[in-house]
A and B are shown apart, each in its own frame.
Chain A
Amino acid sequence: MAVAPSNGGGRLLTMVNRLAFQTVVIGLLSGIALRVLGQPAWSATILSWTCGVLIGLRVVNLTGVLADEVRRRDWTFAGVALAVLMLLAYALQAAWRRP
């Protein structure tokens, strides 16, 4: 019988998720408030960083999954998680370098 899959719920990862989520909420509220207060440039900067946190959070979670599989020495799933991370890295750098 196979081992039931882990849910990747490390305590550190849960804490990071909560912290990042609170950052997103604060970022969204302050960005919108700044725009209402007539500071569109600051608003755009804060909101773009908030969007970056949303993206980064997914990558961090996936890295947590990879660490989990490496710790369990399950190299097949660790390899798949690494491949997905590399695909994301490729997509992000392609977008970053786009003129």
Chain B
Amino acid sequence: MPTADIYTLLAGGLAGCLGALVGIGGGVLLVPILNSIVGLSFKEATAVSLVGVLATSSTAGLSGGRRLLNLRLAIVLLAFSVTGSTLGATYLMHFSERTYELVFGLTATSIAALMFVRLHKRNVLPAGADLGVLGGEFHDDDTGGDVAYRVSNLPVAASVSFGAGVLTSLVGIGGGILIVPTLNTLCGVPLRVAAATSVMMIGVTAVPSLAAHWSHGLLGDFHVPAMTALGVLMGFQVGRAISPRAQVRWLKLVMASILTIVAARYLVWR
């Protein structure tokens, strides 16, 4: 097997593993690996990353997270993220490669900062509390009882979803890495519900941008996207297997450090 294929498979595996562990699509790591190590152009790396994001979302949809998914919240936010993604897809070929790299570098910087300071809020109310239109109830494994939550600051979540959609098209990140902390820290959604809702959203949000990348011929002969997707499927199973023992807090710290280096690579060392 060629070395590039091995790196691609490993990159997909890493993205899938992260998807299972922290509920993100992994595009934020896939793009720099495919661009810097495998040697794809930035736009090709973005296109391949979107296939990885779609594979993560599809795999997660089959795992046990559906009971935590707040489908109505996802649908409302999808109206914004898909609009952003469709708009972003329109401007896919309008700017230079360097511009997209700068956007990616700035996004990676913001995400790294967000991960360093990110809080884990429980956001739960007693069962039977007023949930509002978009709130929900679920069985909390931590406490062993049924708990409820209410969604607040919907305009903030909608704005972040729109921005995540635009970024999905322009730089190939799924947006989960922005949506999960926003829903958890600013909108009153418990972390596990936010992750399950986000992972459903990122797959749908990736569709307009992936179609646009495909139509511009950025998926090539589909070999690299296939290796990535295969890696994601395998990595997701590994992530699920190790998630009960994984120290997610340390994982996030490591990831935030890697993102800082990635951001520096795109913003400074060019």
Contact = CB atoms under 8 A, between A and B. Distances in A.
A1 to B, nearest CB: 6
State which size class the interface on A falls in. Answer: 35 or more
Interface string A24-61: 11001101100100001001100110110011011101
B70 A5 contact: yes
Contacts of B98: none
Q: Which of A2, A29, A35, A59 has the most CB of B within 10 A?
A: A2
A95 interface: yes
Interface residues of B, number: 55
B176 to A, nearest CB: 15
* A contacts with B: majority SS: helix
Contacts, number: 149
B207 A88 contact: yes
Interface string A58-78: 110110010000000000010
A87 B137 CA distance: 30
A17 B62 CA distance: 7
B197 to A, nearest CB: 10
13 contacts: A4-B136, A24-B229, A43-B221, A51-B219, A51-B225, A54-B58, A54-B229, A62-B78, A80-B75, A83-B79, A91-B82, A91-B86, A96-B215
Interface of B: 51, 54-55, 57-59, 61-62, 66-67, 69-73, 75-76, 78-79, 82-83, 85-86, 89, 128-137, 203-204, 206-208, 210-212, 214-216, 219, 221-223, 225-227, 229-230, 233
Interface of A: 1-2, 4-9, 17-18, 20-21, 24-25, 28-29, 31-32, 35, 40, 43-44, 47-48, 50-51, 54-55, 57-59, 61-62, 65, 77, 80-81, 83-84, 87-88, 90-92, 94-96, 98
